[in-house]
Amino acid sequence: MENLLLQFKEKYSKVIVTGGAGFIGSHICEELVKNGLEVISIDDYSAGKKKNLEFLIGYPNFSAINCDITDYESLEKCFPGVDVIFHNAASKKNICLVNPRRDLEVNAKGTFNLLELAIKYKIKKFVQASTGSVYGEAKYFPQDENHPLDPCSYYGVSKLAGEKYVMLFHKLFGLNASVLRYFHVYGPRQESNEFGGVVSIFIKNMINQKPSKIFGDGTQQRSFTYVKDIVKANILLAIDDRAIGQVYNCASGINVTINQLYDLMAKTFNHDHLNAVYEDWLIGDIKVFDVSNAKIKNLGFQFETDFALKLEETIQEMRNYLG
């Protein structure tokens, strides 16, 4: 990571992180701020938390702006002098079931606003956070970046729209843009309410010695990816010219079922007696992820491979975070 950051600082000085108060966005902010970059976090705090950024507030090279990315006029005030945009603001998957219209507005219109401003202010690099949900049910394994795009949720459709806008701006206006498709990210600061990730939800429940819900039969397979790997991948794509106009899966390649995850965490907490509660499948939930990460690894990227170790570290950090 140190070498990547040195290269990043040689090319850029001022960065916007949308969704900067969120789980992933706050980790991107942290890495860049502590390495001397000027960073602007943009977040409307509908999902992000001020708590995620409070340890950065004292840095002179950091500012946190309360702004909705669907508000073009307010958004524009943040752009003068910016070199790079890491676009992580999004309406999350579970929220789309409650309010699909808002999901569309944030993930499509919000992205379009950022792209228009990126062209207007001559942004040097635009890195779009996307999702494995754009693929839909797998037609073959492992899923590579050429897999058909047939999303089966509102969220998958709206995130795919964002991707398409990014690539259109690359083709029409020469925007230096890249797309990262995230898969099942876990780590400290992850949201633990009903809109959060399964790892953090299980951690919260086990801290409180409560059983967790598992939707379906628990055999659904996920490719859990550590949040620091996501940060590193964003920085890599910002500095590597081979990534211009390209889309990359960002998945660890570690395949774990939800049942296996629950059992592993229960043993870590010595809560083997806590049985999960099984409920109906979620609408649009994909049963199996077996994801190819060969393309990003061809750029020299290496993922964390010790899932049990990083899970244990996450549990320890989340105990303090949730305490």
The span from the CA of 158 to the CA of 243, in Å, is 23
Q: Which helix (H) or strand (E) holds 211?
A: none
Q: Which amino acid is at 274?
A: L
Contacts of 182 (CB under 8 A, 6+ apart): 24, 129, 130, 131, 132, 225, 230, 250, 251
* C-beta separation of 279 from 232 below 8 A: no
- Give burial (CB, 10 Å; 0-12/13-18/19+) of 32: buried
Answer yes or no: 321 catalytic: no
CA distance 322 to 314: 12
d(CA 54, CA 7): 27
231, two tokens: 């940060």
Q: Tokens 């944030």: give the residue.
A: 106
Please report, as a single letter, which amino acid is at residue 285.
D
Question: What is the C-alpha separation between 221 and 239, in angstroms, rounded?
Answer: 32
Amino acid at residue number 16? I
Signed CA dihedral, 183, 184, 190, 196: sign only: positive
| Exposure of 281 in the CB half-sphere (CA atoms within 13 A) | 8
Q: Look at residues 87, 74, 72 and name the one whose alpha carbon lies nearest to residue 28.
A: 87
One-letter amino acid identity for 102? R
Candidate list 135, 155, 165, 262, residue with the active-site label: 155
CB neighbours of 72 closer than 8 A, spacing ≥ 6? 113, 116, 117
Which residues make Cβ contacts (< 8 Å) with residue 79, sequence separation at least 6? 16, 117, 120, 121, 123
Catalytic residue set: 155
